């Protein structure tokens, strides 16, 4: 007769595997959306302007720049008291990796027609919204940049809008100073990315406030208790 404890543990493992598959799918789609907006060649989003400028300065790829900045932000978030989830760590490492994979293998096309490029940018933002829904929905922690926004909002007691605007304007200015590209697409994404994410959340009736995230520290404590 199969032990009940074995069945429970096996079911728990299967559920965790499913969660991580969903997480990785969401992060891969996020990278697809990012590369679509980059390959539209109409100007980059504020953070990508910063990543591109960093890539040009240090002769690395945009994906590598994304990973490096993500690591720095996660360390900063941790120092400031923001809890880190497995999704946070996966976001930190995998989105940049996936971006480089897509760009090096030319899996996302580049077009010359301005209308097609605009459509590509819009669709890229839609993909980013879907990706956010998927990876946040698993409840394994927010991305490094979202975590930074959250912790600064808590520390400064300012609104999310003010903190997010301050962060994105700051990285945009630094990005331009070190060689990042801006254009009409930068303005479009700054104005519409929030709309697309909110639209996807509304369509799928996704309430982010109802998501209870699981954090790395809790799992580590659980492991220690089992020893």
Using only C-alpha atoms, the chain has a radius of gyration, in whole angstroms, of 19
Does an H or E element contain 110, and which?
none
What is the residue range of 212's domain? 4-226
Cα separation, 141 vs 127, whole angstroms: 20
Alpha-carbon distance 146 to 134, whole Å? 15
Partners of 215 in beta bridges: 85
Q: How far apart are CA 203 and CA 200, in angstroms?
A: 5
- The residue whose two tokens read 């927010």 is 142
Q: What is the pLDDT of residue 159?
A: 79
What's the CA gap between 204 and 199, in Å, rounded? Answer: 9
- Non-local (6+) Cβ contacts of 105 within 8 A are none
DSSP labels, 47-65 = HHHHHHHHHHHHT--HHHH
Helix (H, G, I), strand (E, B) or coil at 135: helix
Provide the pLDDT for residue 27: 95
pLDDT at residue 121, rounded to an integer: 95
pLDDT per residue of the chain (227 residues) written in tens, 0 to 9 = 455 554 546 667 778 888 899 999 999 999 999 999 999 999 998 999 999 999 999 999 999 999 999 999 999 999 988 888 888 999 999 999 999 999 999 999 999 999 999 999 999 999 998 998 898 888 888 889 888 888 888 888 887 778 888 888 899 999 999 999 899 999 888 888 878 888 888 898 887 667 666 765 555 454 445 45
User: How many domains does the structure of the chain reveal?
Assistant: 1
């Amino acid at each position: 007769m199969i032990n009940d404890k074995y069945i429970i543990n096996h079911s728990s493992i299967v559920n965790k595997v499913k969660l991580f598959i969903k997480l990785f799918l969401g992060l891969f789609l996020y990278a697809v959306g990012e590369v679509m907006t980059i390959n539209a060649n109409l100007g980059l989003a504020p953070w990508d302007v910063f990543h591109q400028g960093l890539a040009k300065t240090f002769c690395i790829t945009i994906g590598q720049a994304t990973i490096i900045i993500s690591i720095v932000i996660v360390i900063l978030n941790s120092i400031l008291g923001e809890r880190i989830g497995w999704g946070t760590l996966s976001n930190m490492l995998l989105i940049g990796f996936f971006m480089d994979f897509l760009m090096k293998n030319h899996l996302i096309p580049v077009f010359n027609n301005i209308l097609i490029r605009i459509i590509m940018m819009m669709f890229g933002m839609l993909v980013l919204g879907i990706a956010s829904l998927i990876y946040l929905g698993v409840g394994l922690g927010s991305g490094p940049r979202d975590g930074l926004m959250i912790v600064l909002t808590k520390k400064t007691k300012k609104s999310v809008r003010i903190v997010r605007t301050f962060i994105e304007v700051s990285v945009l200015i630094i990005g331009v100073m070190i060689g990042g590209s801006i254009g009409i697409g930068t303005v479009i994404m700054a104005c519409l990315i929030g709309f697309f994410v909110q639209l996807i959340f509304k369509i799928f009736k996704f309430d982010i406030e109802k998501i209870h995230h699981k954090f790395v520290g809790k799992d580590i404590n659980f492991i220690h208790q089992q020893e």
